[in-house]
Amino acid sequence: MTIKQGNVYIADIPISRPHQLSMHTITKQTIVLVKLTEEDGLSGWGEVATIGGASYEEMTPEAIKVTIDHYLMPMILGKKAADYACIMNDIQKHVKGNRFAKAAVESALIDLFAKQKGLPAYELLGGKIHDSLPVAWTLASGDTKKDIEEAQEALQQRKHRIFKLKIGKGDPNENVRHVLEIKKALGDEVRVTVDVNQSWDEQTANQCIPKLQAGGIVMVEQPLPEWNEEGMRRLTASSALSVMADEGARSIHDVFRIAKHHVGDSLSLKIPKHGGPHETKKAAAIAESAGMPLYGGTMIESTLGTAIAAHVYATIPDMIFGTELFGPLLYQDMVSTNALIYENYELIIPERPGFGITIDEDKVLYYARDHETRQKGGNMI
């Protein structure tokens, strides 16, 4: 069976509370969904999410859709999902960059082929090592009391015992105070990390990181702008706590350069930013070869995108810093008919064929932009 039709949807889904980052405050989350349908009607789905339009990643949701519709889909239609590796190799040769778009279509191809074979997708990605993954919760209200209450509730419900705080916005000294107060309230049994999202300069980082370290914080993520690799290298050399590379570590070439020059001593993986499941596996292997601890990052995807990441991360031997696959817990609604299972502080890896998620197409159309025109179908051969 060959792939006869491809559809791409941009959907805006409300979330349960504002999620504050240094560059943007999320009140609804935008995802891009790709549906590939073969001749017998079986479909595979892929998803990527973006944050704040163009404020986090160079590729906007609109650009991702245009790239898939006009450049990637013609290289997919008429092909077999079983040839997904060959298809992606051709796409890599003929389409530069555009990693989010590539990640969406590769995930849809893998989902489709795994469903054909009746296998969970992790079987096509090297085999599962972990049955579940520890999940951090991001505290991003900016209100110390609210964040403490939110963390304590998560602990009581046995959902999370790793917490990340977004601290790139506002006065750095006040942000450090905010973090240390939360850490003190939660105690020594809870791991707390911080994410600056590139918002500090080197002087600010040198002032703040020792205070964070003294207060028991174990990791600071991307404190400096991605272009300031020399500064990141100096911070890595001088800091006892881990300095994690994220926005500066997109392509496998970025990851190699970061590992070689010690531009960070740990790495945040994200399926969209690396360009798909297999490129993410390559990035993880480079980091592993350099002795860099790994963290399973998120773009705050819905159930499908989170399941895609979970299947990939489940095949990686060591995720020292755990994962951040909390996305579905932040959404007010789902575009799937089944939910992911979180228990005992961990996310259970879905076992159904493909990525284990059944998409609710009515919900997709409900949240999709221009959903009336979407019902007319997508690219076809």
Tell me the catalytic residues: 166
Contact 305, 31 (CB under 8 A): yes
Write the DSSP assignment of 319-336 as a string of letters.
-TT-B---HHHHBSS-SB
> How many Å apart are CA 100 and CA 63, to the nearest integer?
10
Question: For 299, which DSSP code?
Answer: -
Q: In what order do the strands lie in the sheet with 294-296?
A: 137-139, 162-166, 191-195, 219-221, 242-245, 266-269, 294-296
Tokens encoding 64: 């991702």
CA proximity to 164, closest of 235, 212, 225, 226: 212
Based on C-alpha coordinates, what's the Rg of the chain?
Answer: 20
CB count in 10 Å sphere of residue 125: 20
Surface-to-core class of residue 286, CB atoms within 10 Å of its CB (0-12 exposed, 13-18 middle, 19+ buried): buried
CA dihedral 61, 69, 331, 350 (to 10 degrees): -130
> How many Å apart are CA 22 and CA 199, to the nearest integer?
7
Count of residues in the chain: 381
Residue partners of 58: CB distance under 8 A and separation at least 6: none
- Mapping DSSP to helix (H, G, I), strand (E, B) and coil, where does residue 43 land? strand
Tokens encoding 257: 């350069």
Largest CA distance in the chain: 61
Tell me the CA distances in angstroms from 147 to 10, 28, 320, 365, one per residue in order. 31, 20, 24, 34
